[in-house]
Amino acid sequence: MTTPTPGRVWAHVGQPFTPGSDPQPAYDVLILGAGRMGSALALALTERAPHLKTLLIEEGGLPNEDGATILAPGIWTTAHLPAAQHDAAHWTLERLRDLLGDDLQARPYLTLHDGPTPGSGPTRDLLATHPHSLALLDPGVLPHATAHEAHTYRPGTLAQTAAQSAIRRGTDLLLNTRATPHPGGRVTLDRLTVTNTHQIVTHETHTLHAPLIVLATGAHAPTQAEHHLGVHTRHARAYRQTPHLATPSTEDAPVLHACGLTLRPQHGAYTLIPTIHHRDPHGYTPQGGHLTGVPTGLRRETLEDLVGLMDALPALATSDLHLGRSLADIPGAWLALLHGHPDAPPTHQRLDDHTHLLLGGPHADTLGLWTADALARQIAGGRGQ
């Protein structure tokens, strides 16, 4: 078996970008976006279609600190999926095990209820071995709970691992480059640099042509499709913040889910994953709300949700909840909503003769790798036809 030649990496403008001088296109596939979806696709293509030459392009670093991947919950679970999606979820789990190894951690996942549901048991009993977790909530308000299988990981690590594996198998990687798609399989590449006054500017511009282009730029991808390709989609986006709860968590603490809010143990405390109610309207600018007249960094909808849960989860009413003073104080990112629905699974979609859209969305933790592999299988079967 022939060992593949590793791909090239251009990390900064000091490295001249030399894709090749052949009059034919230098690449068969250009993937715009090296988050977990784009990186996973790049790796899958090296396995499903190793004859295709692929360039993975990212506007920032690997992973991009401003992207949604690094702030994603990193929780694999089938707790909120219909049975029809469980096979894809378990395929993703095996893939996560292969890529992450010990960085994938099994832990309990409890959905909390105010009344009995099929398969539920007493909250006090299910959390008897986790007294720190039980102290977060009022079991009188949430007396019932359902246990589910779950595994936690860092999506940023997943993106990095997948991209590095793809590079070892021949994929090229171009970082710190803004890619703009155009009709006819053309992409403009603006290689970015930072001036001594900390301004991000274009150092040089290249144009590439390829038979197939994949937009894997997250919540920005539908806007790229409409503005640059003239293709309207029904996809939308929402701005999700992930505030910090400084209440201590243990290494084996369960993930808790109550009334749409997920409490994810992380770094010895908790990251809160609020529910997404709906798409944000076009032109919406995130801004912090006010609590008793005091400005906070949490958007008003999230703030109202947390206040409404303070009786069920008294820890939210303590100083452990980090409200911030401005939007910059609370981590947040734009999240793609497939077809505008908060509960829609990841998807891929053909936009024109040369371009595909690849979106993760709220269920990318559990189904994203399967969806990326599905697109790779389609490309391998007919160059995306």
Q: How crowded is residue 170: how many other Cβ atoms within 10 Å of its Cβ?
A: 19
Where does residue 128 rank: exposed (0-12), middle (13-18), buried (19+ CB within 10 A)?
exposed
Angle at 77 between CA 71 and CA 78, to 5 degrees: 135
Edge-to-edge order in the sheet of strand 177-182:
177-182, 186-194, 200-209
Instruction: Answer yes or no: is pLDDT of 48 > 80.
Output: yes
d(CA 371, CA 376): 9
- Among all chains, which residue has been given the structure tokens 């997948």? 162
H/E segment holding residue 300: helix 300-308
| Token reading at 139 | 């079991």
Find the mean pLDDT for residues 27-51: 97
- pLDDT band at 33; cut points 50, 70, 90: very high
Q: How crowded is residue 122: how many other Cβ atoms within 10 Å of its Cβ?
A: 13
DSSP state of 183: T
Q: Would you state the pLDDT for residue 195?
A: 87
- pLDDT band at 22; cut points 50, 70, 90: low
Reduced to 3 states, what is the DSSP secondary structure of residue 209? Answer: strand
Q: What are the chain's domains?
A: 9-69+156-237+339-380 (3.50.50.60), 106-150+243-330 (3.30.9.10)
Q: Would you state the pLDDT for residue 385?
A: 42
Q: Would you state the pLDDT for residue 384?
A: 44
Give the total residue count for the chain. 385
Measuring CA to CA, which residue among 267, 225, 178, 193 is closest to residue 355?
A: 225
Strands 255-258 and 105-113: parallel
DSSP state of 282: T
- pLDDT band at 23; cut points 50, 70, 90: low
Find the mean pLDDT for residues 62-88: 92
What is the overall mean pLDDT for the chain? 93
Instruction: Answer yes or no: is pLDDT of 307 > 60.
Output: yes
228-284 per-position pLDDT tens digit: 999 999 999 999 999 999 999 999 999 999 999 999 999 999 999 999 999 999 888
d(CA 263, CA 109): 10
Where does residue 293 rank: exposed (0-12), middle (13-18), buried (19+ CB within 10 A)?
exposed
User: Which residues sit opposite 336 in a β-bridge?
Assistant: 237
132-152 per-position pLDDT tens digit: 999 999 999 999 999 999 999
Q: What global pTM score does this model have?
A: 0.94
Q: 91-105, 193-207, 266-280, 332-346: lowest mean pLDDT where?
A: 193-207
- pLDDT band at 293; cut points 50, 70, 90: confident
- pLDDT band at 81; cut points 50, 70, 90: very high
Q: How many CA atoms lie within 13 A of 162 on its CB side?
A: 30
Cβ atoms 138, 114 nearer than 8 A: no
Find the mean pLDDT for residues 74-100: 97
Instruction: Answer yes or no: is pLDDT of 21 > 60.
Output: no
Q: Would you state the pLDDT for residue 24?
A: 61
N- to C-terminal Cα separation, the chain: 29
d(CA 62, CA 70): 10
- pLDDT band at 181; cut points 50, 70, 90: very high
- pLDDT band at 352; cut points 50, 70, 90: very high
Cβ atoms 358, 374 nearer than 8 A: no
